[in-house]
Amino acid sequence: MNLVKLTINSREVEVQSGTTILKAAEKIGIDIPRLCYDDDLSPVGACRLCMVEVKGARSLVPACVTAVSPGMVVETESPVVIESRRTTLNLLISNHPLDCLICEKLGDCGLAEYCYKYGVKESTFQGERHDYVIEENNSFIIRDLNKCIQCGKCIRACDEWTGIHNLDFIYRGFDVKPATALDSTYVDSECVFCGNCVTVCPTGALTEKQMKRQGRRWEVQKVKTTCPFCGTGCNFDLNVKDGRITGVTANRTSIVNGRALCVKGHYGWDFVQNEKRLTTPLIKKDGEFMPATWDEALDLIANRLKGIKEQYGPDAFAALSSARCTNEENYLVQKFTRAVMGTNSVDHCART
């Protein structure tokens, strides 16, 4: 592979030919702003935020889709570049509700982050604004296309990760938007509610319903774990605030799934906080379950099991362990069955 030498912000860098300016800059720690670009999606060069100055070029070029060439001299934060970015952001927010005070994406919103960085606080363009109805008729995703910046990442995530092509741009000009086949709501489309579009959306256009008003993005602690819903072994982050789970977000470092999830992994976690969860032991008395302390319950179990073992022998006992529980729990259950009860009768439900 050929190596190409170029200069970015007066620093030399050498990369393989075919590398984009954006990636070459990343290599030496220079972060070029981007909204439609995502490492895990194909590049489209749509948002124009990543424009940079290339000496000798007639106009600014989009860094996310422009390949490096030998001897190229690039400026990523020169005055004309900054001016161009301010204009781009200015245009984007001219038709964007600036209700950041209550927006669920704040703290994880690309648009707000770059407006902050470039000091753009309101638009100088006054024009027509969209007035789409906010879509909330499903349990998982809130869709507020008033906040959409037409970056198209949701379309690509649906195509390239989930692979079902539920979304595409429809209409033209001012009215262009990512939509389902008949411009229906997600519920009435082919949507499988994986939420992968939500994961990539850089604005408050797509947000997780379960997380609504449960805490600001910067208040939650993220705990990476393994999905409990199928054998694929996807990883994700449980978001926790004040000892409660507020939601699941994707974690890019997941070796098997990257940031892709399915509806179960993304939104099925809430069984954990179902109010029907058992929190104390129950002992059946005259056909009715009565709450008991751990000590009462464990003493009763130990006495009954000891008695049955003495009277009928170890093989009068059997245990079912669980294909849902951890390895450590399974190991302990089989050890208990073998070492304590003295029988090999331990199995679990799914022998598939």
In the complex, the residues that contact ligand FES under the rule CB under 6 A are 34-37, 45-50, 62, 64
Q: Which of residues 265-324 bind ligand SF4 (CB under 6 A)?
A: 265
Q: Does 103 bind another protein (CB under 8 A)?
A: no
d(CA 33, CA 81): 11
The answer to whether 151 and 177 are in contact (CB under 8 A) is no
Residue type, 12: E
Q: In angstroms, how far is the first alpha carbon of the chain from the final one?
A: 47
The set of residues, in sequence order, having a beta carbon less than 8 Å from that of 10 and lying 6+ positions away, is none
Pairing between β-strand 3-8 and β-strand 73-75 as defined by DSSP bridges:
parallel
305 interacts with, out of another protein, ligand SF4, ligand FES, none, CB within 5 to 8 A per kind:
another protein
Q: Which stretch binds ligand SF4 (CB under 6 A): 68-76, 158-166, 269-277, 329-337?
A: 158-166
Which residue is closest to ligand SF4 by CB?
A: 265
Tell me how far, at minimum, the Cβ of 170 lies from another protein, in Å: 23
Q: Which of residues 118-177 bind another protein (CB under 8 A)?
A: 138-140, 160-164
Q: Does 250 bind ligand SF4 (CB under 6 A)?
A: no
Residue type, 51: M
The set of residues, in sequence order, having a beta carbon less than 8 Å from that of 85 and lying 6+ positions away, is 33, 49, 51, 114, 118
Q: Which stretch binds ligand SF4 (CB under 6 A): 2-10, 16-24, 48-56, 257-265?
A: 257-265
301 interacts with, out of ligand SF4, ligand FES, another protein, none, CB within 5 to 8 A per kind:
another protein
Phi-psi region of 176 (alpha: psi -120 to 50; beta: other; left: phi over 0): beta
d(CA 240, CA 260): 20
Q: Which of residues 51-90 bind another protein (CB under 8 A)?
A: none
160 interacts with, out of ligand FES, another protein, ligand SF4, none, CB within 5 to 8 A per kind:
another protein
47 interacts with, out of ligand FES, another protein, ligand SF4, none, CB within 5 to 8 A per kind:
ligand FES
Q: Which stretch binds ligand SF4 (CB under 6 A): 120-128, 159-167, 239-247, 274-282?
A: 159-167
Q: Find the angle CA(71)-CA(51)-CA(38) to the nearest 5 degrees.
A: 100
Residue among 65 and 316 whose Cβ is closer to ligand FES: 65
DSSP code at position 30: P
Residue type, 117: K
b/e per residue, 322-334, with b = 16+ CB within 10 A? eeeeeeeebeebb
Q: Which parts of this chain interact with ligand SF4 (CB under 6 A)?
A: 148-154, 157-158, 162, 164, 166-167, 178, 186, 191-197, 200-203, 205-206, 227, 229-230, 232-234, 257, 261-262, 264-265
